[in-house]
Amino acid sequence: MNKYKYILPIGSTNYVDGCGCLIGNLFITAGHIISMAEKPFILLQGEKIYLENPLYFEVNNKDYTRYDLAIFPFPSVNSELSLFEGEIKQGMRLSSVSFKEEMCGTVLFECNAIVDKFSLGNYFGAITDKNLKEGSSGSPVLVGNEVAGILIYGNNDGFDNPCDKNFPVNFCCFLSSKSIKKVI
């Protein structure tokens, strides 16, 4: 299976970007991307599809019992990605897959993420071996072909300095697959 074809960058007319992934016949991303983007869209098999009329939409900035999540129906798609069913534990090795804007265009960006001791409500933390920057929100962390969570925020201010000095610059926070499953 080519898991990369189910992980897609999100574009918009005001240049707010992010990522998301297709799980079954649903497109899942972080709610804050959709709230900030004007006319958000993805390219699916060469076709521009606007992200409108979500099945679920919530933006969460501070409450770890809530969700920062947007879910869109795609009845004509059947992705082979699924949600991770197991427990996410400290020390687990995950694979983070997102996109970066570079001079040559949008480029796939993959790195390792090790689950940290940070776990609060619907979220868990991980330390990545590369600094994830703006535009990576909504991207999945994977265990094989299963989505363990989606990136909600990173601790990188865009200049490789930590936003919160209590955490390293490569710390990231993810909405867990268990929490996404509750909503679905």
Task: Write the pLDDT tens digit of every residue in 43-80.
Answer: 998 899 999 999 999 998 789 999 999 999 998 899 99
Is it the case that residue 100 has pLDDT exceeding 80? no
Smallest CA-to-CA distance from 39 within 5, 59, 15 is with: 15
pLDDT band with cut points at 50, 70 and 90 for residue 106: confident
pLDDT at 115 (0 to 100): 98
Contact 26, 147 (CB under 8 A): no
Contact 92, 144 (CB under 8 A): no
Considering the entire predicted model, what is its pTM? Answer: 0.94
The whole-chain average pLDDT of the chain stands at: 92
